[in-house]
Amino acid sequence: MQKALKKRMKHETTEKKKITFITGGARSGKSDFALKTADVIGKIKAYIATAEALDDEMRERIEIHRKSRGNDWHTIEEPINLLSLFESKHSEWDIAVIDCLTLWVSNLVGNGLTDEAILKMAHNVSEIMAKSGCSIIIVSNEVGMGIVPDNPLARRFRDIAGKVNQIMASTSNEVYWMVAGIPVQIK
Protein backbone atom coordinates (compact mmCIF):
# COMPACT_ATOMS: atom_id res chain seq x y z
CA MET A 1 0.00 0.00 0.00
CA GLN A 2 2.80 2.43 0.93
CA LYS A 3 4.55 2.01 -2.45
CA ALA A 4 1.35 2.65 -4.41
CA LEU A 5 0.57 5.63 -2.16
CA LYS A 6 4.02 7.14 -2.80
CA LYS A 7 3.68 6.75 -6.56
CA ARG A 8 0.18 8.28 -6.64
CA MET A 9 1.05 11.13 -4.27
CA LYS A 10 4.30 11.98 -6.11
CA HIS A 11 2.40 12.28 -9.37
CA GLU A 12 -0.42 14.32 -7.83
CA THR A 13 1.77 16.70 -5.84
CA THR A 14 3.73 17.70 -8.93
CA GLU A 15 0.47 18.94 -10.42
CA LYS A 16 -0.82 21.16 -7.59
CA LYS A 17 -1.18 21.59 -3.88
CA LYS A 18 -4.25 19.92 -2.50
CA ILE A 19 -6.47 19.48 0.52
CA THR A 20 -7.22 16.02 1.87
CA PHE A 21 -9.95 15.39 4.47
CA ILE A 22 -9.77 12.22 6.58
CA THR A 23 -12.65 11.20 8.81
CA GLY A 24 -13.76 8.11 10.69
CA GLY A 25 -14.34 6.81 14.17
CA ALA A 26 -12.03 6.96 17.18
CA ARG A 27 -8.90 4.84 16.74
CA SER A 28 -9.74 4.05 13.13
CA GLY A 29 -6.26 4.97 11.88
CA LYS A 30 -6.94 8.55 10.74
CA SER A 31 -3.79 10.13 12.19
CA ASP A 32 -1.49 7.32 11.07
CA PHE A 33 -2.83 7.55 7.53
CA ALA A 34 -2.47 11.35 7.58
CA LEU A 35 1.14 11.18 8.73
CA LYS A 36 2.11 8.49 6.20
CA THR A 37 0.47 10.49 3.43
CA ALA A 38 2.26 13.66 4.53
CA ASP A 39 5.63 11.90 4.57
CA VAL A 40 5.20 11.22 0.86
CA ILE A 41 4.15 14.75 -0.03
CA GLY A 42 6.86 16.98 1.35
CA LYS A 43 10.00 17.54 3.33
CA ILE A 44 8.91 20.58 5.34
CA LYS A 45 6.05 19.23 7.42
CA ALA A 46 3.90 21.03 9.98
CA TYR A 47 1.76 19.18 12.50
CA ILE A 48 -0.94 21.49 13.80
CA ALA A 49 -2.22 20.13 17.09
CA THR A 50 -5.56 21.41 18.32
CA ALA A 51 -5.56 19.33 21.52
CA GLU A 52 -4.95 20.95 24.87
CA ALA A 53 -3.29 19.08 27.73
CA LEU A 54 -5.95 19.72 30.35
CA ASP A 55 -5.16 16.63 32.46
CA ASP A 56 -2.38 14.08 32.99
CA GLU A 57 -3.90 11.46 30.69
CA MET A 58 -4.15 13.95 27.81
CA ARG A 59 -0.58 15.17 28.44
CA GLU A 60 0.60 11.57 28.14
CA ARG A 61 -1.36 11.04 24.91
CA ILE A 62 0.11 14.21 23.41
CA GLU A 63 3.66 13.18 24.34
CA ILE A 64 3.25 9.70 22.85
CA HIS A 65 1.82 11.20 19.66
CA ARG A 66 4.68 13.73 19.45
CA LYS A 67 7.33 11.02 19.83
CA SER A 68 5.68 8.86 17.19
CA ARG A 69 6.01 11.65 14.59
CA GLY A 70 9.77 11.91 14.92
CA ASN A 71 11.98 14.96 14.68
CA ASP A 72 11.28 16.01 11.09
CA TRP A 73 7.97 17.65 11.97
CA HIS A 74 7.35 21.24 13.04
CA THR A 75 4.75 20.93 15.79
CA ILE A 76 2.48 23.91 16.27
CA GLU A 77 -0.07 23.88 19.07
CA GLU A 78 -3.05 25.97 18.03
CA PRO A 79 -6.33 25.10 19.72
CA ILE A 80 -8.36 28.09 18.45
CA ASN A 81 -6.97 30.40 15.78
CA LEU A 82 -6.36 28.27 12.69
CA LEU A 83 -7.21 31.18 10.41
CA SER A 84 -4.37 33.47 11.49
CA LEU A 85 -1.99 30.52 11.60
CA PHE A 86 -2.63 29.72 7.94
CA GLU A 87 -2.61 33.38 6.95
CA SER A 88 0.86 33.86 8.40
CA LYS A 89 2.64 30.50 8.09
CA HIS A 90 1.30 28.44 5.17
CA SER A 91 4.10 29.39 2.79
CA GLU A 92 6.70 27.93 5.18
CA TRP A 93 5.57 24.31 4.68
CA ASP A 94 5.19 21.73 1.92
CA ILE A 95 2.46 19.95 3.88
CA ALA A 96 0.44 20.69 7.01
CA VAL A 97 -1.60 18.17 9.01
CA ILE A 98 -4.40 19.52 11.20
CA ASP A 99 -5.16 17.01 13.93
CA CYS A 100 -7.91 17.25 14.76
CA LEU A 101 -10.78 19.37 13.55
CA THR A 102 -13.17 17.83 16.08
CA LEU A 103 -11.08 19.07 19.01
CA TRP A 104 -10.92 22.50 17.37
CA VAL A 105 -14.72 22.61 17.27
CA SER A 106 -14.85 21.44 20.90
CA ASN A 107 -12.44 24.23 21.88
CA LEU A 108 -14.58 26.82 20.09
CA VAL A 109 -17.79 25.57 21.75
CA GLY A 110 -15.97 25.56 25.11
CA ASN A 111 -14.90 29.17 24.58
CA GLY A 112 -18.54 30.21 24.20
CA LEU A 113 -18.71 30.82 20.46
CA THR A 114 -22.13 30.61 18.82
CA ASP A 115 -22.87 28.08 16.12
CA GLU A 116 -22.96 30.90 13.57
CA ALA A 117 -19.51 32.14 14.66
CA ILE A 118 -18.06 28.63 14.47
CA LEU A 119 -19.48 28.04 10.99
CA LYS A 120 -18.16 31.40 9.82
CA MET A 121 -14.70 30.52 11.18
CA ALA A 122 -14.85 27.14 9.43
CA HIS A 123 -15.78 28.79 6.12
CA ASN A 124 -12.95 31.32 6.52
CA VAL A 125 -10.42 28.61 7.39
CA SER A 126 -11.52 26.48 4.41
CA GLU A 127 -11.15 29.48 2.09
CA ILE A 128 -7.66 30.34 3.31
CA MET A 129 -6.62 26.69 3.03
CA ALA A 130 -7.86 26.56 -0.56
CA LYS A 131 -5.56 29.49 -1.36
CA SER A 132 -2.66 28.10 0.67
CA GLY A 133 0.79 27.53 -0.73
CA CYS A 134 1.03 24.11 0.88
CA SER A 135 -0.87 20.85 0.76
CA ILE A 136 -3.10 20.25 3.78
CA ILE A 137 -4.44 17.14 5.44
CA ILE A 138 -7.36 17.60 7.83
CA VAL A 139 -8.17 14.90 10.39
CA SER A 140 -11.62 14.86 11.98
CA ASN A 141 -13.84 12.42 13.84
CA GLU A 142 -17.21 11.36 12.53
CA VAL A 143 -19.39 11.91 15.59
CA GLY A 144 -22.88 11.56 14.16
CA MET A 145 -23.26 7.81 13.69
CA GLY A 146 -24.24 6.81 17.21
CA ILE A 147 -27.37 7.37 19.22
CA VAL A 148 -28.74 10.87 19.66
CA PRO A 149 -26.99 12.36 22.70
CA ASP A 150 -29.11 12.79 25.80
CA ASN A 151 -28.24 16.41 26.55
CA PRO A 152 -28.39 19.71 24.66
CA LEU A 153 -24.64 20.46 24.77
CA ALA A 154 -23.72 17.05 23.34
CA ARG A 155 -26.38 17.35 20.62
CA ARG A 156 -25.14 20.84 19.77
CA PHE A 157 -21.55 19.61 19.53
CA ARG A 158 -22.55 16.66 17.33
CA ASP A 159 -24.51 18.93 15.00
CA ILE A 160 -21.89 21.65 14.68
CA ALA A 161 -19.05 19.13 14.23
CA GLY A 162 -21.02 17.50 11.41
CA LYS A 163 -21.58 20.85 9.70
CA VAL A 164 -17.91 21.83 10.02
CA ASN A 165 -16.89 18.45 8.58
CA GLN A 166 -19.19 19.12 5.60
CA ILE A 167 -17.59 22.52 5.02
CA MET A 168 -14.07 21.08 5.06
CA ALA A 169 -14.97 18.05 2.95
CA SER A 170 -16.59 20.25 0.30
CA THR A 171 -13.39 22.29 -0.03
CA SER A 172 -11.15 19.20 -0.13
CA ASN A 173 -9.82 17.59 -3.27
CA GLU A 174 -9.92 14.15 -1.64
CA VAL A 175 -11.96 12.70 1.21
CA TYR A 176 -11.18 9.43 2.99
CA TRP A 177 -13.26 7.40 5.42
CA MET A 178 -11.10 5.28 7.74
CA VAL A 179 -12.43 1.86 8.71
CA ALA A 180 -10.28 -0.41 10.94
CA GLY A 181 -7.09 1.19 9.62
CA ILE A 182 -8.15 0.96 5.99
CA PRO A 183 -8.61 4.19 4.00
CA VAL A 184 -11.67 4.21 1.76
CA GLN A 185 -11.64 7.10 -0.70
CA ILE A 186 -15.08 8.66 -1.02
CA LYS A 187 -14.17 11.76 -3.01
Rounded Cα distance, 124 and 130, in Å: 10
- 11 catalytically annotated: no
Out of 11, 65, 74, 123, pick the active-site residue: 65
Q: Is 177 left (phi over 0), alpha (psi -120 to 50) or beta?
A: beta
Q: Is the dihedral of CA 113, 118, 120, 122 positive or negative?
A: positive
Rounded Cα distance, 89 and 144, in Å: 32
Count of residues in the chain: 187
Annotated catalytic residues are 65
